[in-house]
């Protein structure tokens, strides 16, 4: 494991502990957390590019993973600019082109990750069945709340797109976890972490004030990034 990746996660876990202790409202917390997230994204992209250079052309996993984490880096950076530079709240972007700047790359992150995992899945039929079950579960749990939210149509469509691509990730990742080798299984575990984080974000946005999931959302995303780093180190070897 790369020392920088491990150090980033250790510091981030310390930041989460500080938040629970009541020190998480300072600007320094958000700035350091954002810097660590970017650092992990960049490490994944760099490793994925290295994997893409050496792997078989029939399974260009590295290219898709690099594109996936580049997309999430763009989404995160756009969100950061809106929130901390232009002082625009997320709800204020609903139904506008600003929302697309954040969410289209966010959806692309999962979509490209799903492609990488489906290329690694040994049974695409089983992956499709798992994906369908995951999508059905998400719609059953969050669909009624989304319809009742009163959010603009564009926002609701983006939520549905997130449900769909996350379900594809879960379906393929489940098969890879069950049947894959060590590197692909770590990559699948990483994307499961990202999918869980994304689902928790959907819950908090559709049911604001009802669920307090920020820590779990941040932790699963960061552990997903770390697992992706470990996976790509194995795939590069």
Structure tokens at 36: 């660590």
Residue 80: predicted pLDDT: 83
- Tens digit of pLDDT for each residue in 35-88? 878 888 888 998 898 888 876 654 578 999 999 999 999 999 988 888 777 777
Q: Which of 18-22, 108-112, 121-125 has the lowest mean pLDDT?
A: 18-22
The residues, any chain, with a CB within 8 Å of residue 24's CB and separated by 6 or more, are: 15, 18
Task: Count CB-CB contacts under 10 A for residue 140.
Answer: 9
Share of the chain above pLDDT 90, in %: 50
Q: Which residue has the higher pLDDT, 123 or 23?
A: 123
Nearest to 187 by CA among 115, 136, 135: 115
> How confident is the prediction for the chain on average, in pLDDT?
86
Q: Is the pLDDT of residue 144 over 80?
A: yes
Residue 28: predicted pLDDT: 65
Radius of gyration from C-alpha coordinates of the chain? 17
- Tracing tokens 């594109």 back to the chain, one arrives at 67
- Tens digit of pLDDT for each residue in 165-204? 999 999 999 999 999 888 999 999 999 999 999 999 999 9
CA 188 to chain centre: 12
Q: What is the DSSP letter of 84?
A: I
Q: What are phi and psi of 188, to 5 degrees?
A: -60, -40
pTM summary value: 0.89
Structure tokens at 86: 């232009």
């Amino acid at each position: 494991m790369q020392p920088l990746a491990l150090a980033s996660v250790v510091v981030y876990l310390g930041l989460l502990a500080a938040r629970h202790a009541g020190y998480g409202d300072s600007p320094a917390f958000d700035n350091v957390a954002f810097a660590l997230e970017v650092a992990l994204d960049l490490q994944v992209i760099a490793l994925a590019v290295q994997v893409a250079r050496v792997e078989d052309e029939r399974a260009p996993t590295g290219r898709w993973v690099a594109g996936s984490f580049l997309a999430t880096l763009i989404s995160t950076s756009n969100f950061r600019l809106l929130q901390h530079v232009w002082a625009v709240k997320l709800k204020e972007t609903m139904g506008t082109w600003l929302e697309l700047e954040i969410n289209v790359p966010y959806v692309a992150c999962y979509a490209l990750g799903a492609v990488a995992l489906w290329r690694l899945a040994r049974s695409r039929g089983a992956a499709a069945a798992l994906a369908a079950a995951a999508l059905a579960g998400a719609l059953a749990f969050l669909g009624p709340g989304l319809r009742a939210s009163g959010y603009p149509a564009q926002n609701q469509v983006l939520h549905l797109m997130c449900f769909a691509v996350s379900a594809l990730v879960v379906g393929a990742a489940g098969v890879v976890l069950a049947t894959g080798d060590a590197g692909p299984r770590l990559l699948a575990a990483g994307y499961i972490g990202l999918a869980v984080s994304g689902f928790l974000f959907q819950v908090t946005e559709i049911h604001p004030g009802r669920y307090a999931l920020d820590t779990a959302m941040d932790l699963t995303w960061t552990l997903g990034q770390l697992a992706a780093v470990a996976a790509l180190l194995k795939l590069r070897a």
